[in-house]
Every structure is written in structure tokens, then in C-alpha cells.
């Protein structure tokens, strides 16, 4: 949904910095694929994560190659989109600050989705107490993830 909280610029800057400069020493703490709002960014970060996990170099060439072999390069906008991610990067990108922005928007989206599920359950006739229990459990899970406990 386009009205969901997101900061595409922060997402683009994180991905662009990784593509231009490689995976930072020490990694990027707490960022996951599900934190990205656009499916193209999810695919790109997934490719990056796989390359890192398998000990391969991470740059625009290796990521493009991985996406091409996975047959998803075209669906993310092809090489032109990947190259566009590196254009206009700040001279010294503050990746940790951008990660906080992306994580914050992700948290908001998760809460919206939990509330939408509660509303749908109410319309479906589920009992109020069941809905409260499920919503509370989901909010506890979201909170634990946000605090890095999961």
C-alpha cells in the first residue's frame, strides 16, 4: 500500500552505499529484508545478504550478476536501477542513521498490519477478547524484534 510509512530515500542510500563501497566492516546491525518497503529493495538486499553470507564480494557487479542468475534483475528495474542507487550519494553516508530511519518506518508498517488484522478479525466476528489477546501477542513480538530481543 503506497500510504504505508516508508522512506525510500533512506533505503536507496543504504543500498547505494553498500553497492558503491561494499559491505561495511562489522556489517549493518539489525537490518533485515523485511525492513525495506519496496519489493525491488527487498530483492537487492536479499542478494547482498546472500553474497555476504557466502563470503563473496559485494558490489554493483556481483549483486547485478546474482540478481540476473536468480532471474529477478529485470523485475527490479535492471542494471540502470542498480546504477541509479549509487548516484547522488552523500559524501560520507551515515548508514547507521539511515538504518534507524528505515527500521522506524518498518516498525510503523508492522503495527499498521497488526491493527489491520485485528480489524479484519472483528469484521469476521471473532470475539473481542480473542482479538485483544492476538493483538497483544503480536505487539509484544513486534516490540521484542524492535528491541533486538528476537
Residue whose entry in the numeric block shows the C-alpha cell 518498518: 106
Q: Is the pLDDT assigned to residue 2 strictly greater than 80?
A: no
pLDDT digits (tens, 9 = 90+) for 35-92: 999 999 999 999 999 999 999 999 999 999 999 999 999 999 999 999 999 998 988 8
In a domain, 99, yes or no: yes
- DSSP helix/strand/coil, 39: helix
How far is Cα 4 from Cα 18, in angstroms, rounded to an integer? 25
In a domain, 2, yes or no: no
In a domain, 101, yes or no: yes
| Domains contained in the chain, number | 1
Q: Tell me the pLDDT of the chain averaged across its residues.
A: 92
In a domain, 1, yes or no: no
In a domain, 97, yes or no: yes
pLDDT of residue 22: 87
In a domain, 84, yes or no: yes
Range of the domain at 114: 8-146
By the 10 Å C-beta count (0-12 exposed, 13-18 middle, 19+ buried), 55 is classed as: exposed
How far is Cα 140 from Cα 136, in angstroms, rounded to an integer? 6
Tell me the whole-structure pTM to 2 decimals: 0.86
In a domain, 42, yes or no: yes
pLDDT confidence band for 102 (50 / 70 / 90)? very high
Total residues belonging to the chain: 150
In a domain, 3, yes or no: no
Contact 109, 5 (CB under 8 A): yes
Amino acid at each position: 500500500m503506497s500510504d504505508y510509512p516508508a522512506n525510500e530515500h533512506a533505503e536507496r542510500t543504504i543500498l547505494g552505499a553498500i553497492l558503491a563501497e561494499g559491505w561495511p566492516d562489522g556489517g549493518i546491525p539489525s537490518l533485515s529484508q523485511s525492513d525495506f518497503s519496496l519489493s525491488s529493495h527487498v530483492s537487492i538486499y536479499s542478494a547482498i545478504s546472500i553474497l555476504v553470507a557466502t563470503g563473496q564480494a559485494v558490489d554493483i557487479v556481483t549483486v547485478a550478476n546474482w540478481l540476473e542468475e536468480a532471474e529477478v534483475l529485470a523485475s527490479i528495474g535492471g542494471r540502470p536501477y542498480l546504477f541509479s542507487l549509487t548516484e547522488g550519494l552523500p559524501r560520507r553516508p551515515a548508514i547507521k542513521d539511515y538504518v534507524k530511519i528505515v527500521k522506524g518506518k518498518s516498525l510503523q508498517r508492522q503495527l499498521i498490519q497488526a491493527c489491520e488484522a485485528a480489524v479484519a478479525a472483528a469484521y469476521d466476528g471473532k470475539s473481542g477478547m480473542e482479538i485483544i489477546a492476538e493483538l497483544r501477542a503480536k505487539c509484544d513480538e513486534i516490540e521484542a524484534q524492535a528491541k533486538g530481543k528476537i
